[in-house]
Amino acid sequence: MPRLTPFFKRCLLGLAALMALGLLGAAFWLGPARAPGLASIALGFAGLTLVLGALVLRHAWQETADAKRTLEEAIEALPASVEIFDENDRLVAFNRHLVEIYPHMEADFKRGARFEDLVRTSIALGGVPAAKGCEEEWLAQRMAARAKARFNPTEPLLQNLHEDRWVRVHERHTRAGGVIGVRMDVSDLVHEQQRLAASKAHLQAFVLTTPNGVLTLDTEGHVLALNPAAEALFGFEANELKGSHIDLLFGIWMGARLSLESLVGGSQELTARRRDGQELTLLLSVAEVKTSTTHRFVCIITDLSERKRQEVALQEANAQLAKQSVTDGLTGVGNRRYFDQLLQQEWQRSVRHGHSMACIMVDIDHFKLYNDRYGHVAGDDCLIRVAELLRACAGRSGEAVCRYGGEEFVLLLADCDLSGAMVVAQRCLDSIRLAAIEHDASPLRRRLSLSLGVAASVADAQGVAVSLVERADAALYAAKQAGRARIVSSELAA
C-alpha cells in the first residue's frame, strides 16, 4: 500500500464516512419498496466505502506501530541511557543502558513505575553512595533538581554510583509535562579528572616547597609564573615579575640572547642579578612543555652562589697552603723544600738547553754572637732583614732566594755563568755592607757581614744537581776559612 500523509488519510476517512452515511441515507430513503434496485446499489456502495475506510484505518494503525518500533529501536541504539516519564512521572519507555547503569534496579524498571519510587528503591539497595546516612534529604534534593530541570534544562547533574561509577544526567521536560532523561557513563572522564587533579596537587606541592626556583616562560621568554623560591632568590614578588622578560634576571641574555630551545634538556651555569644588585651564580635547566594548546618553557633554577663562594674560598685556601708549603715561615723567601724542587727543575732545564746555572750559598757571619748579644727575637728580625736585602739583589726572573737552614741562605740563578753569579754575590755583599746592620759582638768591624760561596756549571745529564750545591758550599767554607765577609768562587776553592 502506498505511503499516505496523515492529512490525506484524514480526508480519505472523512470522505469515506460521508459517502457511507450518504449512501446509507439514500438506501433508507429509497427503501426496498420504492426503488429496490437503487437501494441495494446504495447499500452496496455504503458497504464498500466502509471496507475502504477500515482498510485506511488498518494502514494507519500499522504505520503507528512501525513508527513506535522504530523509535524504540532508535532509543535502544543510542550510546547513552534514555528513559521517558509521562506527566505523572511514571516510566513510559527506557533502553537497556539504563539497566546497565543501575543493574540492581533491573526488576524495578517497569512501565508505570514512579520516578520517586525508583529513586527510593535504588537508595535502599545501596545504589547511591552519596545518599548513605541522609537518604530523605538526598531524595528531596534530587527531586528538587528534577523539578529545576523544567526551568533550566541545560544544567546536567553529576551522580556518583556504586563501584565508583559516575553518570551525567540530563533531564528535559516535554511539552506534555513528561520528562526525558539521558544518562551518560562518564566514569572514565571523572577518573581521569581525579587523576589530573591529584597530579596537579602533587606538582603544586612540589613547586611551592622546593628550594629550587621555578619559572614558567612563554616562547618569547616572558615570565608567566614563578614559585616562592624564585621570588626569594631574585628578590621580586611574583606579580612584579609576571610579564617581564627573562633578560631582567639573567645578565647573560643581555645583548647576546640565548634561545630557550637551545637550553632544553640540558643545564647551564650562568650569572644573574638579584633586585638589590647582588650577583648570583645559578644553574639553569630548561624543560619544554608543548601540547596541542600550549607551548611553554619551565626553568628550574638552582642557586650555586654559596657553593661558588665556598669553592673560591677553598681555592684561595689551597693556594695559600701551597704557597706556605714552599715558603719559609720566618723570612717569606722560599724554603728548603722549594729550593730542592727548583734545583732539580733548573738542572733539567740546563741539561736540555746547555745553559750554565749558578748557586750562591750565603751565611751570616758570627750569627751565634748576634743572638747572644741581641737575643733570639732580634736575631729573627735580623734574618728577615737579610732575606729582604738578598731578595732585592736577586729578585729578577730566573733568580730565586731561599732559606737553606738556620742563618744560611741560598741563591739559585738560572741561565747564569760564574762571572754573572759573582756579580750578584758582590751585589749581596755590598748591600749588607751598605745596610750597616749593627753587630756589636762581631769581631769584623762591629757590623753584620756575609760570607758567600759561588759555583756555576752547565748541567750534565750524568751528573747530579746537588753537586752544584756542594761546590758552592765548599766555596762558602773556604770564604769562612779565609776570614769571612767575602766571596769565594768554586774555582778558587777547588
| Catalytic (active-site) positions | 407
Contact partners, residue 121, CB within 8 Å, separation at least 6? 105, 108
Amino acid symbol at 232: A
Q: Which is nearer to ligand GTP, 395 or 443 (CB)?
A: 443
Report yes or no: 184 and 262 within 8 Å, Cβ to Cβ: no
Please name which of 185, 183, 187, 188 lies closest in space to residue 119, comparing C-alpha atoms: 183
In whole angstroms, the minimum distance from the beta carbon of 380 to ligand GTP comes to 5
Q: Which is nearer to ligand GTP, 81 or 327 (CB)?
A: 327
Amino acid symbol at 450: L
Distance, CA of 230 to chain centre: 12
Q: Which is nearer to ligand GTP, 170 or 373 (CB)?
A: 373
In whole angstroms, the minimum distance from the beta carbon of 379 to ligand GTP comes to 3
Report yes or no: 367 and 403 within 8 Å, Cβ to Cβ: no
Binding positions for ligand GTP, rule: CB under 6 A: 330, 363-368, 371, 376, 379-380, 383, 406-407, 480, 484
Which element (helix H / strand E) includes 28? helix 6-34
The Cα 445–Cα 438 span in angstroms is 9
In whole angstroms, the minimum distance from the beta carbon of 413 to ligand GTP comes to 23
Strand partners, 85: 91, 179
The burial of 85, by beta-carbon neighbours within 10 Å (0-12 exposed, 13-18 middle, 19 or more buried), is given as buried
In whole angstroms, the minimum distance from the beta carbon of 381 to ligand GTP comes to 8
Can you read off the three cell numbers belonging to residue 334?
722560599
Q: Which is nearer to ligand GTP, 380 or 430 (CB)?
A: 380
CA angle, residues 448, 454, 460, in degrees to nearest 5: 155
In whole angstroms, the minimum distance from the beta carbon of 394 to ligand GTP comes to 21
- Roughly what angle, to the nearest 10 degrees, separates helices 466-481 and 336-353? 110
In whole angstroms, the minimum distance from the beta carbon of 255 to ligand GTP comes to 58
Q: Which is nearer to ligand GTP, 210 or 371 (CB)?
A: 371
Can you read off the three cell numbers belonging to residue 144?
528538587
Beta strands in 37-151 (DSSP E): 81-85, 91-94
In whole angstroms, the minimum distance from the beta carbon of 485 to ligand GTP comes to 10
Which single residue brings its beta carbon nearest to ligand GTP?
A: 379
Q: Alpha-carbon Rg of the chain, whole angstroms?
A: 57
Q: Which is nearer to ligand GTP, 83 or 363 (CB)?
A: 363
Report yes or no: 386 and 428 within 8 Å, Cβ to Cβ: no
Distances from the Cα of 324 to the Cα of 321, 333, 335, 344, 374, angstroms = 5, 10, 9, 20, 29
Q: Which is nearer to ligand GTP, 175 or 376 (CB)?
A: 376
Distance, CA of 70 to chain centre: 59
The Cα 26–Cα 40 span in angstroms is 10
In whole angstroms, the minimum distance from the beta carbon of 363 to ligand GTP comes to 5
Q: Which is nearer to ligand GTP, 364 or 469 (CB)?
A: 364
